[in-house]
């Protein structure tokens, strides 16, 4: 069990603000486990997940890989839910498809009487002990790590697998398999992964594109442009994308809808014009997952061009 902090490890401080202070052994103390389960607790410095970084997440994946390589049958990771989407996607992309890793957290802190921490932890251990591939275990479901996205700020069942659904449901301690993941493990054979800076630029009706210029000036090697609809941006976007690509910055398009596939379908600043300017398209990846994918792609040039790698990521390698 790798404990990293988050709401699941939080208590209120003197101001009433939640801070992650609970260590792994205390979290585990109230969790009923099968008598044949032996748990090694690895405490990392507890942080709220909104304060973490992609390099820090990469270090967590390295610890997970080390534990699996040392003979652990499975790993449970406790993590804050704000960035659990990124953590799970990164884990699924970097580890082999059969890695038994269950990532979980809580929407209500462990110090609350109605916390969901104990049930989620119990379910996560059941999932990890059942050799389910990398998944997010929350609200009675195990969702593939490559598919999981947070869809509610506070509900107990805050995670969804989108069109892919769930890998398993957990009922009274029983893990009932429903499906197998088709995406993930694109970078599993890659060593010395780097994760260059990738920024997100969101747009709305009438937005300007100075933020693209600001990201370039700040040293971003990639920019995820969260576009409208099928991947459309409007006036000024084509020039901004063309300038970024000419400067060696990769531009990846997602949709602010959070669902469906982006394609180069429209002109007049739409996706077709953006593709001609050099933008690439993230398929159906959510913006958060697309950012992780682009950072991995830029840090793994031996696997191909960013466009080729992103295609493999969202279509399934």
Write out the catalytic residue numbers. 7
Nearest to 205 by CA among 239, 229, 224, 240: 229
Same domain, 302 and 227: yes
Same domain, 139 and 29: yes
- The label of the residue with tokens 């442009």 reads 225
Percent of the chain with pLDDT over 70: 100
For range 72-88, the mean pLDDT: 97
What is the rounded CA–CA span in Å between residue 79 and residue 139? 15
Q: Is residue 16 part of a domain?
A: yes
Domain that holds residue 242: 198-315
Q: Give the pLDDT confidence score for residue 191 in this predicted structure.
A: 77
Residues contacting 196, CB < 8 A, separation 6+: 221, 222, 295, 298, 299
What is the rounded CA–CA span in Å between residue 299 and residue 221? 10
pLDDT class of 239 with cuts at 50, 70, 90: very high
Same domain, 145 and 26: yes
Q: Is residue 189 part of a domain?
A: no
pLDDT class of 30 with cuts at 50, 70, 90: confident
Same domain, 158 and 252: no
Bigger pLDDT: 16 or 59? 59
pLDDT single digits (tens) 96-151? 999 999 999 999 998 888 999 999 999 999 999 999 999 999 999 999 999 999 99
What is the rounded CA–CA span in Å between residue 160 and residue 166? 8
Instruction: Kindly report the CATH number assigned to the domain that includes residue 34.
Output: 3.40.50.1170
Domain total for the chain? Answer: 2
pLDDT single digits (tens) 255-269? 999 999 999 999 998
pLDDT single digits (tens) 268-307? 989 999 999 999 999 999 999 999 999 999 999 899 999 9
Q: Is residue 20 part of a domain?
A: yes
3 state DSSP class of 198: strand
Same domain, 151 and 257: no
Q: Is residue 293 part of a domain?
A: yes
Is residue 80 within 8 A of residue 6, CB to CB? The reply is: yes
pLDDT class of 52 with cuts at 50, 70, 90: very high
Checking if the pLDDT of 172 tops 80, the result is yes
Same domain, 250 and 145: no
Is residue 142 within 8 A of residue 127, CB to CB? The reply is: yes
Same domain, 172 and 280: no
Same domain, 68 and 14: yes
CB-count exposure of residue 297 (10 Å: 0-12, 13-18, 19+): buried
Same domain, 44 and 167: yes
Considering 177, 208, 235, which residue would you say is the last residue of a domain? 177
Q: Chain centroid to CA 271: how far?
A: 25
Q: Is residue 85 part of a domain?
A: yes
Same domain, 166 and 211: no
Q: Is residue 241 part of a domain?
A: yes
For range 49-70, the mean pLDDT: 96
Q: Is residue 183 part of a domain?
A: no
Q: What pTM was estimated for this model as a whole?
A: 0.96
What is the rounded CA–CA span in Å between residue 223 and residue 209? 12
């Amino acid at each position: 069990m790798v404990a990293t902090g988050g709401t699941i490890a939080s208590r209120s401080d003197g101001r009433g603000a939640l801070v992650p202070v609970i260590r792994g052994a205390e979290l585990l103390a109230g969790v009923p486990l099968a008598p044949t389960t032996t748990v090694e607790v690895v405490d990392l410095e507890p942080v709220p997940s909104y304060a973490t970084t992609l390099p820090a997440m990469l270090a967590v994946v390295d610890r997970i890989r080390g534990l699996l390589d040392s003979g652990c049958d499975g790993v449970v990771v406790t993590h804050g839910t704000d960035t659990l989407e990124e953590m799970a996607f990164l884990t699924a992309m970097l580890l082999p498809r059969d890695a038994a890793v269950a990532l979980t957290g809580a929407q209500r802190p462990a110090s609350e009487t109605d916390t969901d921490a104990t049930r989620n932890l119990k379910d996560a251990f059941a999932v990890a002990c059942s050799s389910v591939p990398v998944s997010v275990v929350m609200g009675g479901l195990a969702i593939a790590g490559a598919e999981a996205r947070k869809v509610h700020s506070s509900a107990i069942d805050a995670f969804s697998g989108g069109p892919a659904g769930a890998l398993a449901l957990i009922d009274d301690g029983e893990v009932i398999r429903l499906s197998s993941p088709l995406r993930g493990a694109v970078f599993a054979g890659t060593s010395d992964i780097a994760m260059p800076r990738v920024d997100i630029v969101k747009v709305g009706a009438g937005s300007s594109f100075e933020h693209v210029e600001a990201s370039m000036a700040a040293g971003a090697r990639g920019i995820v442009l969260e576009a409208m609809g099928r991947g459309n941006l409007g006036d000024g976007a084509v020039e901004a994308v063309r300038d970024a690509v000419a400067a060696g910055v990769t531009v990846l398009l997602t949709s602010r809808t959070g669902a469906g596939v982006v394609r180069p379908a429209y002109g007049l600043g739409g996706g077709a014009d953006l593709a001609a300017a050099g933008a690439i398209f993230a398929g159906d990846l959510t913006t958060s997952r697309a950012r992780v994918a682009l950072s991995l792609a830029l840090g793994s040039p031996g696997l191909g061009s960013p466009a080729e790698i992103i295609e493999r990521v969202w279509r399934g390698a």
